[in-house]
Amino acid sequence: MAKLFDVYPLFDIQPEKGNGVWIYDKNGEKYLDLYGGHAVISIGHSHPHYVGMLNEQLNKLVFYSNSIQNPLQSELASKLGELSGYKDWQLFLCNSGAEANENAFKLASFHNEKKTIISFTKGFHGRTSLSVATTDSAKIKAPVNQVHDTMMLPFNDEDALKEAFEQNSNICAVIVEGIQGIGGIHVPTESFMKKIREYCSLYNAVMIADEIQSGYGRSGKFFGHQWAGVEPDIITMAKGMGNGFPIGGVLISPKFEAWHGMLGTTFGGNHLACSAGIAVLDVLQKEFLLTNATTVGDWLMEELAKISGVKEVRGKGLMIGVEMDTEVASIRKDLLFDHHIFTGGASEKNTLRLLPPLNLTKEQGLKFLQAFKKVAEEAMA
Ligand SMILES: Cc1ncc(COP(=O)(O)O)c(C=O)c1O
């Protein structure tokens, strides 16, 4: 019998339905979801507006290729531009984060005909040519893609960045997460982001903001890099964009000119994906979820910092990293199996990640805080 290629360690839980921040397993047990399947659930599981729009589209047309007109794509682009503040930018639609980043690299090298892409330690950009930046795992030995040269620099290190630009005339792009996700929720300093912007402009390189995890309102601003007040040249997104439906996008500055055949994909921007994307934007706006992310997130971070065993709390909005004095694997397991709360890990073993739906309430947050306090105390005892 054919079996699955075993690349994922699995928890022995089988979710069957979701509602808001809650997930129910096949035995009817209820779980508080503070992880959203790697930061994917932005507006809550099975939001009625989202379900309604997807159902309506399913009954009409599921897919036709990008060779004919699909007005849903323009509607999505226009709403996205409006909400994110990038009104006159251009949108290319694809299916995942890795694909969005690959297209961003392509665009960058079409633009300046250079080859080297700079990424940063603890960064993650999907299973792309920069996947080596993901983890310290000894099993991942080398960059896999040779189309671009890659250079990894220390995060938040302005001197290293300056030196790299001064010594290498082939720098095509710098890719940086608005807030680092899987690396352990590290926020770039405003000054670091401004330096990236400055050097990219000075040396004709392209600044790519990877907002795949930190975008779509998660940080309390539409995109994480907006906290630093910089404007990149290309912004990549996925995850929360479809609230679980696979969709990715590349938001492209007006200075890039498209030509037919430059980029392409079979499924990207299909009718169902666009419906999901539009529904997410509708709900983010109507329910003021960016404001909620800030209010509930600030409060959670403040409360978390008071708990014994917590070394540092990092992040913005509802993208929170809790660094503990100890490894968090068993804390996460206890939260899941004893208290029915999903949380995430990070490549830093002492850091727990919280990436809940953006409509999390304080009441639900309090449930987590009480459980976490108990579990953390036991772990430190
Ligand atoms: C910042 C960032 N970039 C890119 C990716 C890759 O996205 P995908 O898994 O959809 O390819 C991820 C996924 O975790 C991510 O967090």
CATH value at residue 364 = 3.90.1150.10
| Structure letter (DSSP) for residue 84 | H
Predicted confidence (pLDDT) per residue in 263-298, tens digit: 999 999 999 999 999 999 999 999 999 999 999 999
Taking the C-alpha atoms of residue 78 and residue 81, their distance in angstroms, rounded to an integer, is: 5
C-alpha of residue 123 to centroid of ligand 1, in Å: 10
Q: Please indicate, yes or no, if residue 7 is contained in any of the structural domains.
A: no
| Structure letter (DSSP) for residue 186 | B
Does residue 263 share a domain with residue 369?
Answer: no
Residue 236 contacts residue 248 (beta carbons within 8 Å)? yes
Nearest-CA residue for atom 14 of ligand 1: 126
Does residue 207 share a domain with residue 350?
Answer: no
CATH code for the domain in which residue 204 is found: 3.40.640.10
The residue from 242, 264, 286 where one domain ends is: 286
Q: Please indicate, yes or no, if residue 279 is contained in any of the structural domains.
A: yes
Q: Please indicate, yes or no, if residue 9 is contained in any of the structural domains.
A: no
Does residue 326 share a domain with residue 261?
Answer: no
Does residue 36 share a domain with residue 88?
Answer: no
Predicted confidence (pLDDT) per residue in 130-171, tens digit: 654 444 444 444 444 445 788 999 999 999 999 999 999 999
Looking at residue 137, what is its pLDDT? 44
Does residue 327 share a domain with residue 229?
Answer: no
Looking at residue 140, what is its pLDDT? 43
C-alpha of residue 178 to centroid of ligand 1, in Å: 13
Q: Is there an atom of ligand 1 within 6 Å of 289 CB?
A: no
Q: Which two tokens mark 139?
A: 């099993």
Predicted confidence (pLDDT) per residue in 318-377, tens digit: 999 999 999 999 999 999 999 999 999 999 999 999 999 999 999 999 999 999 999 999
Q: Which two tokens mark 1?
A: 């019998």
Taking the C-alpha atoms of residue 47 and residue 358, their distance in angstroms, rounded to an integer, is: 12
Does residue 84 share a domain with residue 20?
Answer: no
Q: What is the pTM of this model?
A: 0.96
Residue 94 contacts residue 249 (beta carbons within 8 Å)? yes
Taking the C-alpha atoms of residue 102 and residue 97, their distance in angstroms, rounded to an integer, is: 9
Structural domain including 332 reads 15-43+288-380
Total domain count, the chain: 2
**Cβ burial, residue 99 (10 Å; 0-12/13-18/19+):** buried
Q: From 213, 218, 243, give the residue whose CB has the most ligand 1 atoms within 8 Å, as the site to mutate.
A: 213
Q: Is there an atom of ligand 1 within 6 Å of 273 CB?
A: no
Does residue 252 share a domain with residue 127?
Answer: yes
Residue 203 contacts residue 172 (beta carbons within 8 Å)? no
Does residue 170 share a domain with residue 315?
Answer: no
Q: Is there an atom of ligand 1 within 6 Å of 124 CB?
A: yes
Does residue 368 share a domain with residue 234?
Answer: no
Does residue 309 share a domain with residue 254?
Answer: no
Q: What is the CA radius of gyration of the chain?
A: 21
Phi, psi of 331 (to 5 degrees): -65, -45
Residue type (1 letter), 162: K
Query: Please, which pLDDT band fits residue 231 given cuts at 50, 70 and 90?
Result: very high
Q: From 122, 125, 250, 355, give the residue whose CB has the most ligand 1 atoms within 8 Å, as the site to mutate.
A: 125
Q: From 95, 129, 155, 212, give the residue whose CB has the most ligand 1 atoms within 8 Å, as the site to mutate.
A: 212
Taking the C-alpha atoms of residue 196 and residue 230, their distance in angstroms, rounded to an integer, is: 9
